[in-house]
Every structure is written in structure tokens, then in C-alpha cells.
């Protein structure tokens, strides 16, 4: 009996030990299962930096060399002379027609190539579409400007610039054509005309000389004969339709010369000859005058180069702005007697009397037929 109990105890111990081992195996199995599950983060190493010579070559589109040429919106111009895609640069000249339509105002400037359709010049982005580019900002045309002084015609900088014939200076045009300058009056956009230059011209030549000034700014003409005449000129760029042309692009010299030429058509110059007395009167009254209610500024000056009129009334384009700014309006003044003068408006051959200017100590009073400038103008500016 004693031995029997002994064996029973030993058997129970054996069963217990076996069960414990099975539990251990089960626990170990569960442990392995947990360690190999996705719940444990995978250890990774730091990424290896790619050396420059191991990077893939990036294909950058080239700026087409076919874009070498002259581009204009009728007021400004960009002459692309060289394209270097290796250096990612474009070399160009800038044309600012308010200064000179035929000669560049800046030369050998450099623009950076961004991609096949984008340049950057003077921090201004120039987006291209095929063979044209478009500027939208008021001062975007500054990269074509001389950049010096004031009076730049930035107002006409925005627009689409298309490929066209490059302007040719008077000297070059004359040599290339074998004709005398290819102009009726080669300097009418640079200097005031004299009686000696005009007096021998016929009425038809006078009118064509007026058209010539407009043509220099790219204006097209409704008359097919006039259009054909300018199409034959090597310097002509017909970029602007007549209805879209803005006369504010004309310089002070050009506006004055148009008035002088108009006065000679039909012999009108002989009808109202200027006098030294009249010119002296306006020399004594020269100055800027301001309407205190509207802040419109006008200038009175003697018309030294005219044999027709004695003085000029120059009206600033915008209030508070100087009559020196581009786009100012010019009217002729004919001295009558005493302290009074008549305002004459001459445009495209039409002569209209607009009103009068009466002078008093310290100011002028303008009377205008439509009420446009009617009012008192003390001398001085705000």
C-alpha cells in the first residue's frame, strides 16, 4: 500500500511537469508570433545622400533660337540679338519710342532664360507664346527703357509684342534705300520744323508729312494708297489700327510739328501771320497756371518756331500733373490785342477757334466753347 501511494505521487508529479512544459511551449509560441507580427516597428537606416554625379539628368527645354528678332507693341520694342541656352541668357536692345523710335535706348542688356517660354529681365517675368510675348503690368516695359530720368511712356508698355521689321534710323535707311532718307521730313520727330523746311512742300506733301509722323509710331491707314506708300518704307511697322491708335504716344515735338504742318495746308499760314509783338507778349506771360477747383495745370509759352501763331497753350493730360508729361494737349494761341488771345485747335487740317485766354496780374481766365477748360487759373502749381 505504501508503495502504491508512492507511485501515485510520482505519477501526479510527472503529469504536472509535463503540463508545465506544454504551457512553456505555448507561451514561447505566442512570444514568437508577437515578435514576428507587424505591430513591432521595423528598424530602418538613415537615407543615403545622393551625390551630384549620381542624380538623373533633368531635361530643361531650350529657349528657341528662332526667336531672335525684333518685337514691338507699337510703342516699345525688344530686339533679341543672341540666345545662349548654355549660359541661359538672352542678349537684347530696348526701344522706347517716346525717346526715339529708330534708335535703341539701351543696348546689350541680358535676360535670364527660365524655360522654353519664360524670360526674366530686371526682375520682370516675360511669358512667351510661340513668337510673341505679353506684358500686363504698368511698369513691365521698364526692362526696355533707358532707365534714366522721368517721362517714360510706361502707360503704353502693356500689350502683346509681335515679331515685326526692325526700325531703321534715318541715316541707315537713306544709305540702304539709295533715296534721300526715305522720309519727306526726316527730323520731324526729333526737332521743331522751320519755315524753310516746309514752305516748298505741296499740300499733298504736307499731309503725307503729317502721316509720316503717325507712321513712325506704327499707325496704319484706312486709305489704301497711303497704306501702300508706307508699306514700301523699310522703317515702317504697321502694328496699330487707326481706331486703336492713341495720340498720347506723340512727343511734344511731334505734336507741335503736326500743328505747324496743318497750318500750311491750303495756305492757312498766310491768313494769320504771327507778329513779334505777339511773341513778346507770351514771353512775358510764360509759366504754369493752375485751376484751384479742378487742379488742372496749363502752361503758356511763346511759339518761337511758328510764323503762324504767337503762343502755345499746353494742357496737362491729368490733373495735378505737369504739362511736361507725355500725352499733354497742345493748342495754338493768337495774340489779339491788349491782354487777350484766341485759342486755336488744329487737328488733321481742321482749324477751330476754341475760345479765349484773358490775362490779368497773377493769372489767366480761360473761356472754352464747350466749357472744357473754362475757369480761373492763378499762376503757379500746387
Strand partners, 133: 128, 161
What pLDDT score was predicted for residue 176? 38
Distance between CA 212 and CA 206 in Å, rounded?
10
Distance between CA 259 and CA 161 in Å, rounded?
31
- DSSP notation for 281-326: HHHHH-EEEE-TTT--EEEEEE-TT-SS-SEEEEE-SSTTS-TTST
Residue 179 carries which DSSP code?
S
What pLDDT score was predicted for residue 163? 82
| Dihedral angle computed from the Cα positions of residues 219, 220, 223 and 226, in that order, rounded to the nearest 10 degrees | 70
What pLDDT score was predicted for residue 99? 67
Distance between CA 277 and CA 281 in Å, rounded?
6
pLDDT in tens, 120-162: 998 999 999 988 899 988 889 889 987 655 567 787 888 888 8
What pLDDT score was predicted for residue 192? 81
Q: What are phi and psi of 265, to 5 degrees?
A: -65, 130
Nearest to 281 by CA among 308, 309, 250, 319: 309
Distance between CA 188 and CA 255 in Å, rounded?
10
Name the stretches of the chain with pLDDT < 70: 1-60, 98-101, 147-151, 167-181, 266-274, 347-350
What pLDDT score was predicted for residue 9? 47
Q: For residue 62, how many other CB atoms are within 10 A of its CB?
A: 13
What pLDDT score was predicted for residue 289? 96
Distance between CA 318 and CA 314 in Å, rounded?
12
Nearest to 234 by CA among 168, 164, 326: 168
Cβ neighbourhood burial of 104 (10 Å; 0-12, 13-18, 19+): buried
C-alpha cell at 205: 506733301
360: helix, coil or strand? Answer: strand
What pLDDT score was predicted for residue 347? 65
Amino acid at each position: 500500500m505504501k508503495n502504491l501511494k508512492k507511485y501515485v505521487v510520482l505519477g501526479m508529479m510527472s503529469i504536472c511537469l509535463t503540463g508545465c512544459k506544454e504551457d512553456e511551449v505555448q507561451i514561447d509560441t505566442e512570444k514568437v508570433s508577437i515578435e514576428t507580427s507587424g505591430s513591432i516597428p521595423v528598424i530602418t537606416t538613415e537615407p543615403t545622400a545622393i551625390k551630384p554625379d549620381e542624380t538623373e539628368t533633368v531635361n530643361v527645354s531650350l529657349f528657341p533660337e528662332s526667336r531672335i528678332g525684333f518685337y514691338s507693341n507699337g510703342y516699345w520694342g525688344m530686339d533679341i540679338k543672341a540666345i545662349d541656352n548654355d549660359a541661359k541668357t538672352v542678349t537684347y536692345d530696348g526701344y522706347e519710342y517716346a525717346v526715339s523710335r529708330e534708335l535703341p535706348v539701351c543696348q546689350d542688356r541680358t535676360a535670364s532664360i527660365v524655360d522654353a517660354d519664360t524670360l526674366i529681365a530686371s526682375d520682370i517675368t516675360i511669358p512667351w507664346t510661340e513668337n510673341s510675348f505679353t506684358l500686363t503690368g504698368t511698369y513691365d516695359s521698364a526692362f526696355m527703357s533707358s532707365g534714366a530720368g522721368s517721362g517714360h511712356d510706361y502707360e503704353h508698355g502693356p500689350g502683346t509684342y509681335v515679331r515685326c521689321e526692325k526700325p531703321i534710323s534715318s541715316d541707315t535707311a537713306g544709305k540702304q534705300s539709295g533715296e534721300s532718307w526715305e522720309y519727306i521730313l526726316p527730323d520731324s520727330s526729333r526737332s521743331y520744323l522751320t519755315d524753310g523746311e516746309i514752305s516748298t512742300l505741296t499740300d499733298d506733301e504736307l499731309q503725307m508729312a503729317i502721316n509720316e509722323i503717325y507712321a513712325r509710331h506704327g499707325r496704319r491707314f484706312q486709305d489704301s494708297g497711303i497704306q501702300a506708300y508706307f508699306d514700301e518704307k523699310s522703317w515702317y511697322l504697321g502694328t496699330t489700327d487707326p481706331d486703336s491708335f492713341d495720340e498720347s504716344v506723340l512727343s511734344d515735338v511731334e505734336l507741335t510739328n503736326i500743328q505747324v504742318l496743318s497750318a500750311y495746308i491750303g495756305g492757312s499760314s498766310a491768313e494769320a501771320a504771327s507778329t513779334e509783338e505777339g511773341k513778346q507778349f507770351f514771353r512775358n506771360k510764360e509759366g504754369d497756371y493752375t485751376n484751384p477747383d479742378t487742379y488742372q495745370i496749363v502752361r503758356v509759352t511763346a511759339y518761337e518756331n511758328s510764323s503762324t501763331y504767337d503762343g502755345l497753350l499746353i494742357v496737362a493730360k491729368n490733373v495735378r500733373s505737369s504739362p511736361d508729361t507725355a500725352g499733354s494737349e497742345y493748342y495754338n494761341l493768337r495774340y489779339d490785342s491788349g491782354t487777350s488771345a484766341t485759342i486755336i485747335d488744329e487737328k488733321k487740317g481742321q482749324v477751330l477757334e476754341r475760345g479765349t485766354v484773358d490775362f490779368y496780374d497773377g493769372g489767366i481766365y480761360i473761356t472754352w466753347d464747350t466749357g472744357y477748360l473754362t475757369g480761373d487759373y492763378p499762376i503757379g502749381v500746387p
